[in-house]
Amino acid sequence: MSSSITAGELALRLNLPLRGDSTRQIESAATLEDAGPLDVAFMGSPKLFDAGRQSKAGCLIALPDYLAASGQTVIDSPQPRAHFGQALSILYPGPALEPGIHSSAVIGHGAQIHPTAIIGPHVTVGAGACVGTNTILHPNVTVYHGVTIGERCIIHSGAVIGADGFGFEMVQGRYQKVPQVGTVRIGDDVEIGANTCIDRATLGVTVIGDGTKLDNMVHIAHNCRIGRHVVIAAQTGLAGGVEIGDYAIVGGQVGVGDKARIESKAVIGSGAGILTSKIVRAGEPVWGTPARPLRQYLAQLATLSRLSKRR
């Protein structure tokens, strides 16, 4: 359920300047096309300025150089999408969550749960695990033994942290399991999507750095080391020993081979395939399988298209 606020109050909460009617009432948020007089909407690009002038939104969050139509109320923002996200948090505060452990949760011997943490229904926290300050474990999360989760993390339903890595060796015609005796360490301010799996290390630690965001159904294999403020979209899978530097962006359905290294601030397009031990440099996005610089990938597609037309 949304809460009501005036445009002036919203601008004040966002610490941004306002143009227009500060008393205009805002009750909800909507897209630029669908917004009505009681809605706030945003424009993140000058390409949308014409659509913005046609919008019926009661309040727009827009770049400062937006020339508003007559009668429009505008909150000027250098980052409209980011401030629109903050506006959503103000208008839709969500249900209040009380710190504590739900009666149906199972907490292993010696696990350390900070008193401010929120442990939801049917969560399992293994022996010796540690859950930090103001961290939320939503229903049906499983945290295996010895895993450490930092402060202010959000882990969504069905996520599994600390299951065995995929380690087997062929011995006399049969696969023999390699015991996975390492652990997982999750930093602060990390968000982990529903049904995502992060495997424990064979030896040592699988690491997820501070501020990193993992989408739904992401798989992080044993001994991966993910840096700070990395974003990984849904259905991406990392094989064992992959390293990803700070601020890298990985699109959806990307496959990354064993011991590949992705440099800080590198960008990998959706559906790309990163070969085993490959190094992905920062500078230009990579795309395709095997992944290569975007310009090269597009040039190859154009060549294939011309060849097919000659047939």
Active site residues: 222
Three-state DSSP string of the chain? CCCCEEHHHHHHHHCCCEECCCCCEECEECCCCCCCCCEEEECCCHHHHHHHHHCCCCEEEECCCCCCCCCCCEEECCCHHHHHHHHHHHHCCCCCCCCEECCCCEECCCCEECCCCEECCCCEECCCCEECCCCEECCCCEECCCCEECCCCEECCCCEEEECCCCEEEECCEEEECCCCCEEEECCCCEECCCCEEECCCCCEEEECCCCEECCCCEECCCCEECCCCEECCCCEECCCCEECCCCEECCCCEECCCCEECCCCEECCCCEECCCCEECCCCCEECCCCEEHHHHHHHHHHHHHHHHHC
